[in-house]
Amino acid sequence: MNNLFEIDPNKCKHDGICVAACPSKLITLNEEDKLPIPIDRAEKQCFNCGHCVAVCPYGAFTLNTMDPEECAPVNKKLLPTADQAKLFLTARRSIRTYKTQPVDRATLSEIIDTARYAPTGHNLQPVNWLVIEDAGEISRLAGLVIDWMRYMIKEQPDIAKSMHLKRFVADWDNGDDKICRGAPHVIVAHAPKAIASAQSACTIALTYLELAAFSKGLGACWAGYFGAAASHYPPMAEALNLPDGHQCFGAMMVGYPQYRYHRIPLRKKAAITWR
Ligand SMILES: Cc1cc2nc3c(=O)[nH]c(=O)nc-3n(C[C@H](O)[C@H](O)[C@H](O)COP(=O)(O)O)c2cc1C
């Protein structure tokens, strides 16, 4: 017994798999009984990734924060084949035409639940979610993105030109929202800006979110301009009212797609250098 993990001696087969799998090499086998024990000061270095619990075939390993009984078993029969996975990843599309019908909270919660399994640097799991459900609020925020674009066109014309901002403003003025595109929901990923890997964590989590949305018959699309305004335009950041020290690191439109896609469009050939 130690303050990091507990081993069930009746289940442990002394195979050392947990020792090999620990990314920080915090586990060793006891000389006498060959049961896993933590190295000195292991609890200070453990970042709770749970690989020790997840890799043990016998459920013998319990981290003090993670009981194997609480960790869902991997049902290999449900895993997609390589062909199915490739089709899934290539058939997803950025959806820009939505039904007005809202998505219920249970379904939105499910896709966010999947997104929390996205990898994060040092397993920090810094991503927080803001779900904007109200169409009026989405329109108000899109209007603030347009205000930011107008500001950029005036003050930073070169950047504005490279981002084609005049076109978005003209469309908005003609009653066409190219910022949130009529999506009934916008989901914002935010995290403490002091965390160096926060941007990557949110980007990867949003990528998972988009795929999870597709798997549930929903449509999603990166709201790139929304995210840019949220991190560069103080009135937009103020309107989002995120917790102190947090920054928006990306946003996604979500809703039911109006149309289905029947073919996979062509993409550039992979540019690979082999060494
Ligand atoms: C970081 C990022 C920002 C994006 N921002 C927007 C956006 O603001 N509005 C939009 O309609 N699409 C946006 N997109 C979607 C891209 O245009 C889209 O991924 C690309 O055209 C390829 O189409 P596909 O996703 O259907 O394969 C963004 C994509 C990424 C990765």
pLDDT at 268 over 90: yes
Domain assignment present for 264 = no
Measured between alpha carbons, how far is 240 from 247 in angstroms, rounded to an integer? Answer: 10
Q: How confident is the model at residue 198 (pLDDT cuts 50, 70, 90)?
A: very high
Q: Where is the domain boundary, 17, 43, 70?
A: 70
Measured between alpha carbons, how far is 28 from 16 in angstroms, rounded to an integer? Answer: 8
Are the CB atoms for 218 and 111 separated by under 8 Å? Answer: yes
CA of 164 relative to ligand 1 center, distance in Å: 14
pLDDT tens digits along 164-178: 999 999 999 999 999
Please compute Rg for the chain using Cα positions: 23
Domain membership of residue 212 as a residue range: 86-255
Number of domains in the chain: 2
Residue 125 and residue 236 share a domain: yes
Residue 82: what pLDDT?
98
Domain assignment present for 81 = no
pLDDT tens digits along 42-82: 999 999 999 999 999 999 999 999 999 999 999 999 999 99
Residue 188 and residue 54 share a domain: no
Domain assignment present for 135 = yes
Give me the chain's average pLDDT, please: 97
Tell how strand 61-63 and strand 36-38 pair up: unpaired
Domain assignment present for 75 = no
Residue 90 and residue 221 share a domain: yes
Measured between alpha carbons, how far is 164 from 109 in angstroms, rounded to an integer? Answer: 34
CA of 166 relative to ligand 1 center, distance in Å: 18
Measured between alpha carbons, how far is 237 from 240 in angstroms, rounded to an integer? Answer: 5
Are the CB atoms for 220 and 213 separated by under 8 Å? Answer: yes
Residue 210 and residue 94 share a domain: yes
CA terminus-to-terminus distance, the chain: 48
Residue 97 and residue 228 share a domain: yes
Ligand 1 contacts (CB < 6 A) are: 93-94, 96, 221-225
